[in-house]
Chains A and B, each alone.
Chain A
Amino acid sequence: EVQLVESGGGLVQPGGSLRLSCTASGFTFYNSWMIWVRQAPGQGLQWVAKINQDGTETYYRRSVEGRFTISRDNAKNSVHLQMNNLGAEDTAVYFCARVSLYPRGYLDYWGQGTPVTLSS
């Protein structure tokens, strides 16, 4: 059974940092692209960052480029999202998801999400 479990969310002050983690099980992790998707309160889904199988390719939405860093540790079946200089617009539930193998691009399994709240 595929499982994705996120952790690391919480309450943070504007300008602060958080590191989210997602631990995967039930599939061959190093074969899959992984992605972080966020959902602001009452809003829709927005992909944030994605990473290829060995971590050599990373992509970010424009609004987080330079502030967020996605990485992975295939030995520990985990993917991370380092978030720096956080602002109110980053308040959201953050989901990690597995990207389909072929064709690449749909998200076939999702974690339960971890909330990130900006508050002064």
Chain B
Amino acid sequence: VLTQSPGTLSVSPGDRATLSCRASQSVNSNYLAWYQQKPGQAPRLLIYGASTKMTGIPDRFSGSGSGTDFTLTISRLEPEDLAVYYCQEYGSAQWTFGQGTKVEIK
């Protein structure tokens, strides 16, 4: 089970946003991905392998963590970052998603 926190994060433009994803068991080989889903759109892959950015993802997005605790950081929030962010583990056969963190612009 992946538990994301907080459920909703309200951040001012230019500020840092820190999103957490905690696994109930250690994630094999840190096989943890992050996705961004903007309103009315399909999800988009941001990060895989806990910290590797997908091609074309802005530098302000970064992923870190290992074992059971993972973090997605948006270093300087921009208005276009309004979205729900999901983590997903693929180290087991289950490939489960977290329930998502909604990032609001303050």
Please list the residues of chain A having a beta carbon within 8 angstroms of any beta carbon in chain B.
37, 44-47, 50, 59, 95, 100, 103-113
| B72-106 Cβ-contact flags toward A at 8 Å (1 or 0) | 00000000000000101011010101111000000
Return chain A residues, CB-CB under 8 Å to B90. 103-106
User: B29, B48, B99, B100: which contacts A106 (Cβ < 8 A)?
Assistant: B48
| A65 vs B100: C-alpha distance when bound (angstroms) | 25
Determine the distance from Cα of A6 to Cα of B15 in the docked complex, in whole angstroms: 37
Would you call B11 an interface residue if the criterion is a C-beta within 8 Å of the partner chain's C-beta atoms? no
Q: B44 touching A110 by the CB < 8 A rule?
A: yes
User: Total interface residues on B, using CB and 8 Å?
Assistant: 23
Q: Mark B34-49, 1 if CB is under 8 A from A, else 0.
A: 0101000111110011
Interface residues of chain B, those whose CB is within 8 Å of chain A, are 29, 31, 33, 35, 37, 41-45, 48-49, 54, 86, 88, 90-91, 93, 95, 97-100
Given A105-B90, A106-B88, A107-B88: A95 touches B98 (CB 8 Å cut-off): no
A95 touches B42 (CB 8 A): yes
List residues of chain B with CB within 8 A of the CB of A46.
97
Q: A103-B29, A107-B33 are in contact. Are A45 and B86 (CB under 8 A)?
A: yes
Q: Can you add 10 more A-B contacts, CB < 8 Å, to A45-B37, A108-B48, A110-B42?
A: A45-B43, A46-B97, A47-B97, A103-B90, A104-B90, A105-B33, A107-B88, A108-B45, A110-B43, A110-B44
Cα(A94)–Cα(B35), bound, Å: 16
